[in-house]
Amino acid sequence: MSSHYEAPIREPLVLGEKSYHDITMDIVKPIEGKANKNWYVAFTIALVAFLWGLGCIAYTISTGIGAWGLNKNIGWAWDITNFVWWVGIGHAGTLISAVLLLFRQKWRMAINRSAEAMTIFAVFQAGLFPIIHMGRPWNGYWVLPIPNQFGSLWVNFNSPLLWDVFAISTYLSVSLVFWWTGLLPDFAMIRDRAVKPFQKKIYALLSFGWSGRAKDWQRFEEVSLVLAGLATPLVLSVHTIVSMDFATSINPGWHSTIFPPYFVAGAIFSGFAMVQTLLGVMRKVTNLENYITRLHIEYMNIVIMVTGGIVAVAYASEFFIAWYTGSPYENYTYMSIGAATGPYGWAFWSLILFNIAIPQLLWIKKFRRSFIVSFLISIAINIGMWFERFDIIAIVLSKGHLPSTWTRFEPTFVDVGIFVGTIGFFFVLFLLYARTFPVIAQAEVKTIMKSSGEHYKQLRDGKNEH
């Protein structure tokens, strides 16, 4: 990861006259300094939402799943919608840190730490839902293939839900290890700067005794590469498996071979949108404008455009195929005239608007490079992707094979409370992270200072006006 020559025509990835020490100072500022009022306000709101969600979860577990709006024909709705949504959001982190690492995309360095943090926190939220959506979560460990005393009971390896268990837990553990590996030199840097003994002790523990020797760096690079290689297939596998919850079932609208690639593209689409949302705020709040630049925003927008395009094509083909079968059973899948004109028409059109129509604005370069437009579009995509999952689950289940079973779903306050609670939990984690973790992989950013730092580029290209 050493510095390579970068053509002058390329935009620099680090702006301003930054020295190495400046980077250190910029990164540790939120950790060593005091939090401002905004942070406390945001944290309090997130904490309240989280506690409210916890209360709703406690209520569900103590009274029963009946606290939710589900019924005999719609066995999943917000629970699995939220699960898939959060898993999808988690996708960008690994993609940025692993795939882009393998492709040697240096712009990832400014965003990978936060993207991965987002991944891990999102997977926490996602993992919550499969557990609490169970009627008897206290028996949840039965889905693990643990040798047991129950007789010859074993898990059912045919079930996509079981594959989910493996996929999500693998994904979480690999992501966590990868993230932590990247964090080691940065934790060590904070440890070395720490003056309070307690803080020093904590960061010493977190940095696993990083010494900064050449051997450390060499192993660091090797492990990063190996983990990136391991994590890359996970980017594809996790959402492929999540999609199989639906694709392997027999409900018209779920039973669709296009689901795995379509879900993976959708996941990256939503993951990048969430990164945009978070970084759009974070770069302002923590004064990281020089590290997370317009160029980063534009690159991410391009990824959003590509994956959004894949998703749009997938919708179109779903719609076409449902119609083309001529089967009356396909008349009401989530992508059909039946859905567009039925009681969930509003959800159908929300999906089209937020996921297809609005992201098309990114074709315009001005918008693509605009922080505020990108931020707003990313919010739209987050909403749109939630609706995508809601449509797939609720619309399909609401119009099953037998018309006598057609029904509707309305969330209760508990459904809403739990969803809001996970958002709260996510932000609690993220805000704590922003105050205690180095939010940018400073060790890595420092490696590209000479090749892609604005100041050094100017020096090298002889354009130094100073």
Partner 1 sequence: MASNKKYWKSVEELNENSSIVASLEQNEFNEGQAPESFLGDKETLEASSTTRRDFLKYVGFTTVAASLAACEGPVIKSIPYVVKPEEVTPGIANYYASTIADGFDFANVLVKTKEGRPVFILPNKEAKGTTNARVNASVLSLYDSLRLRGPKVKGNTASWSDVNGKITAQLETLSNAGEKIVILTGTLASPSTDALIADFAKKYNNVSHVVYDAISESAALDAFQEVYGERALANYKLEDAKTIVSIGADFLGDWQGGGFEAAYAAGRDVKAGKFSRHIQFEGNYSLTGANADKRVVLKPSEQAYALINLYNAVTGQNLASKKTPGDAAIKQAAAQLKKSGSKAVVITGIQDKNAQLIALAINNYLNSEILDTTNVKYVRGGNDAEVSTLIAELKAGKVGALITYNTNPVYTLAKSADFKAGLKKTKLTVGFSSKEDETLNEMQFALPTPSYLEAWGDVKMTASQYSLTQPTIKPLFDSKQFQDCLLAWSGQTTSYYDYLSAYAKSDVLGDKSWNTTLHDGFAPLSATVLSASDIDVTAAASAFKSGIKSGAFELTLYSSVAMGDGQQANNPWLQELPDPLTRASWDNYLLMSKADADELGFSNPIKDNGAINGQYATLTVNGVKLENVPVLIQPGQAKGSLGLSYGYGKTKALKEEMLVGVNAYSIAFGGSQVVSVENTGGDHLFACEQLQHTIAGRHDILRETSLEQYQHGHAEEWNPRPEVSLKHQETDVNKVDLWEDHDRSIGHHFNLSIDLTSCTGCGSCVIACHAENNVPVVGKHEVRVGRDMHWLRIDRYYTSEGDAITDNKKTNSASSEDSAELYQKLETPEAINPQVAFQPLMCQHCNHAPCETVCPVAATSHGRQGQNQMAYNRCVGTRYCANNCPYRVRRFNWFKYNSNDEFDFHMNDDFGKMVLNPDVVVRSRGVMEKCSMCIQMTQATILNAKNEGRAIDVNEFTTACSSACATGSIKFGDINSPEDEVTELRKDKRAYRLLEFIGTDNNVVYQTKIRNTNEA
Sites of contact with partner 1 (CB under 8 A) = 63-66, 69-76, 130, 133-137, 139-140, 142-143, 153-156, 158-162, 165, 245, 248-251, 323, 326, 328-329, 331, 337-338, 341, 343, 397-398, 400-410
How would you label 236-263 residue by residue, b for 16+ Cβ within 10 Å and e otherwise?
bbbbbbbbbbbbeeebbbbebeebbebb
Query: Residue 453: helix, strand or coil by DSSP?
Result: strand
In the complex with partner 1, which residue's Cβ is closer, 39 or 329? 329
What is d(CA 93, CA 155) in angstroms, rounded to the nearest whole number?
A: 31
**Closest to 127 (Cα-Cα) out of 398, 336, 426:** 426
Contact between residue 372 and residue 264 where contact means Cβ atoms under 8 Å apart: no
**Closest to 109 (Cα-Cα) out of 206, 3, 215, 211:** 3
The minimum distance between CB 156 and partner 1, in angstroms, equals 4
In the complex with partner 1, which residue's Cβ is closer, 209 or 345? 345
- 118 Cβ contact partners less than 8 Å away, ≥ 6 residues apart: 89, 90, 92, 93, 271, 274, 275, 278, 430
The minimum distance between CB 410 and partner 1, in angstroms, equals 4
What is d(CA 59, CA 158) in angstroms, rounded to the nearest whole number?
A: 32
Per the document, the length of the chain is 466
Q: Where are the alpha helices (DSSP H) in 352-407?
A: 365-368, 371-390, 396-398
- 83 Cβ contact partners less than 8 Å away, ≥ 6 residues apart: 126, 129, 130, 133, 242
The minimum distance between CB 398 and partner 1, in angstroms, equals 8
The minimum distance between CB 350 and partner 1, in angstroms, equals 15
The minimum distance between CB 54 and partner 1, in angstroms, equals 20
The minimum distance between CB 75 and partner 1, in angstroms, equals 3
**Closest to 274 (Cα-Cα) out of 437, 120, 103:** 120
In the complex with partner 1, which residue's Cβ is closer, 409 or 426? 409
- 382 Cβ contact partners less than 8 Å away, ≥ 6 residues apart: 89, 270, 273, 274, 277
In the complex with partner 1, which residue's Cβ is closer, 136 or 201? 136
Contact between residue 39 and residue 435 where contact means Cβ atoms under 8 Å apart: yes
Give me the amino acid identity at 243. Answer: S
What is d(CA 249, CA 159) in angstroms, rounded to the nearest whole number?
A: 10
In the complex with partner 1, which residue's Cβ is closer, 195 or 402? 402
The minimum distance between CB 143 and partner 1, in angstroms, equals 5
In the complex with partner 1, which residue's Cβ is closer, 133 or 455? 133
In the complex with partner 1, which residue's Cβ is closer, 30 or 130? 130
In the complex with partner 1, which residue's Cβ is closer, 75 or 233? 75
The minimum distance between CB 56 and partner 1, in angstroms, equals 16
In the complex with partner 1, which residue's Cβ is closer, 65 or 353? 65
The minimum distance between CB 240 and partner 1, in angstroms, equals 17
